[in-house]
Amino acid sequence: MSWTDERVELLKKMWTEGQSASQIAKELGGVTRNAVIGKVHRLGLSNRVEGAAPTPAPAAAPAAVAKPAAPEPVAAPAAAAAPRVEPEPEPVRPTIAAVPPRPAPAAPQPVAAVAPVPGVVRKPALVPAGQPLPPQPSLNEISPETLASVREVEKRSRKISLMELTERTCKWPIGDPATENFYFCGLPSSAGKPYCEAHVSVAFQPMSARRDRRR
DNA sequence: CCCTGATTCGC
DNA sequence: GCGAATCAGG
């Protein structure tokens, strides 16, 4: 295989999208991730900084441009990400084997672009005909931050198919299984868990602080 | 161990 | 220019 314009273009596209070298290599086929990385460097687009920090989203990325002399006291990532509360054996159980709880109200909107108003996720009015949706396992109030995080991750999801799931890919389903627009998150899952960090945080919640249910 | 990108260096 | 091998991390 050689670096044809097409392949280079795809490489550039994926790289700027934040895909990893191995993912790109897999997509291109015929090349290893080393080849991809090598090419990336030769193309001089190693600095994958594009308006937002893709893969790792730790604290603010040090925009150290040239002088590292800045007296940066290392920002404490304390309350940065959602502090995972050790959940009790009371995770939101996937009702069906291997099928986790309903992610946020299935957002059947594939192509983003239309800036959805953050904060409130409205449940689509139409219920896809077909399978009776399992009783919603207390889709209680998930912290807005977590929700936002999840949404962000889902944009970044690899959209892999059932067959592509491995021991270490996030198995969180996205979309409606009854439609074509369905796939799994696919991002690297965290140690031993079935989902990626973001999805773990919504799947395993402390205890449903849910006592509404007025009557 | 799984993975990541970065670099080197013979080809 | 290419990319395997290697390095250096998470």
- By C1' distance from the Cα of A42, the closest nucleotide is C1
One-letter amino acid of A13: K
Q: Round to a whole number and report the distance in Å from the CA of A123 to the C1' of B1.
A: 41
Task: Please answer whether residues A118 and A191 qualify as being in contact, where contact means their C-beta atoms are separated by less than 8 angstroms.
Answer: no
Residues 4-33 of A with CB under 7 A from strand C: 31-32
pLDDT in tens, chain A (215 residues): 899 999 999 999 999 988 899 999 999 989 999 999 999 999 998 776 654 444 443 333 343 333 333 343 433 333 333 444 444 444 544 444 344 444 444 443 333 333 334 434 444 445 455 545 444 445 566 777 778 778 878 877 888 888 888 888 999 999 888 998 899 998 888 777 889 888 888 887 766 555 555 54
Which nucleotides along chain B are within 7 A of a protein C-beta? 2-8
Which nucleotides along chain C are within 7 A of a protein C-beta? 1-6, 10
Among A151, A146, A154, smallest CA distance to A170 is for: A154
What token pair was written down for A135? 């009783």
What token pair was written down for A142? 């998930």
Exposure letters A157-170 (e unless 16+ CB within 10 A, then b) = bbbbeeeebeeebb
pTM (2 decimals)?
0.52
Helix (H) / strand (E) element for A75: namely none
Instruction: Please state, as a whole number, how many other Cβ atoms lie within 10 Å of the Cβ of residue A136.
Output: 13
- By C1' distance from the Cα of A166, the closest nucleotide is B2
The whole-angstrom separation of Cα A17 and Cα A13 is 6
Task: Please answer whether residues A100 and A203 qualify as being in contact, where contact means their C-beta atoms are separated by less than 8 angstroms.
Answer: yes
The whole-angstrom separation of Cα A56 and Cα A23 is 16
CB of residue A38 closer than 7 A to nucleic acid strand C?
yes
